[in-house]
Amino acid sequence: MRFYRLEKNKKFSYWAYVTFKIIALALIATIGIMMLCGYKFMIVSSGSMEPKLPVGSLVIVTPCEYEDLEYGDIVTMDAGGIYLTHRIVGKFDKNNPTDKYSILKPGDEGYDEETRWVTQGDANAEPDGVLNDDIVGKVYEAHAFGWVGLCVRYIRSHYTMLIILLIIFAVFFYAMDWLKTKMVPDDIECYETDDDED
């Protein structure tokens, strides 16, 4: 009776292939689920929020309601088709409606009664004015990735999005095929017992 054994002698390549595939699929699935849930991925194009959000940073905008905003939050708003990402610096002072510099801070009289927020860029000298309900969401400082945004912005400035997607998919499938060629099995080893069959 003969027994055959087939082994893989490229364990590193095999596990590298499996790990790469799992990470790629998990990343694609995560981004897809986040987008379906209303999350947005944006790139900072101005220096109004430096140094917290440098130009070129990739930020994740978390969907939220106006009532969920708090003092100090970084909020992304829709300003007539242009997205602005600035910080909430206080509340509107209804006793001084013509003075845009008159902003209520926590602890000021009338702060708790007022519900309209005022935003301003960290690097700007003047506030934007009253924040309306056209908010996209808020940005957490931990969800800002400077180097990623710079890379994305550089690529976008040189190629169309279609070409970028084609390159990504081409590299991905090329890597898969290359890793598969590295998974070469050992020679088949044959073990034979004394009681061979006729």
Look over the chain and give the mean of its residue pLDDT values, rounded to a whole number.
80
**96-139, pLDDT tens digit by residue?**
877 777 888 898 888 888 889 999 999 998 888 888 878 899 99
Q: Is the pLDDT of residue 87 over 90?
A: yes
**65-80, pLDDT tens digit by residue?**
988 899 999 999 988 7
The mean-pLDDT minimum among 23-32, 67-76, 150-159, 168-177 falls in 150-159
Using pLDDT thresholds of 50, 70 and 90, give the confidence band for residue 61: very high
Strands (E), 32-187: 40-43, 58-62, 74-79, 82-92, 103-104, 117-120, 129-130, 135-145
Q: What is the pLDDT of residue 34?
A: 86
Helix axes 146-156, 161-181, angle to 10 degrees: 110
Q: What is the pLDDT of residue 161?
A: 64
Q: What is the pLDDT of residue 5?
A: 47
Radius of gyration of the chain (CA): 28
Which of 72, 73, 71 is CA-nearest to residue 139? Answer: 73
In degrees, rounded to 5, the angle at the alpha carbon of residue 68 between the alpha carbons of residues 65 and 69 is 100
In degrees, rounded to 5, the angle at the alpha carbon of residue 193 between the alpha carbons of residues 189 and 195 is 145
Using pLDDT thresholds of 50, 70 and 90, give the confidence band for residue 166: confident
- Alpha-carbon gap, residue 42 to 45, rounded angstroms: 9
| More confident: 8 or 41 | 41
> What is the value of pTM for the model shown?
0.64
Extract the tokens encoding 71.
Answer: 């003092």
The mean-pLDDT minimum among 36-50, 86-100, 122-136, 167-181 falls in 167-181
Q: Is the pLDDT of residue 6 over 80?
A: no
Domain 40-159 CATH superfamily: Umud Fragment, subunit A (2.10.109.10)
Which of 93, 94, 75 is CA-nearest to residue 85? Answer: 75
Q: Is the pLDDT of residue 188 over 60?
A: no
Q: Is the pLDDT of residue 187 over 80?
A: no
| More confident: 143 or 127 | 127
**First CA to last CA distance, the chain:** 9
Domain extent listing, the chain: 40-159
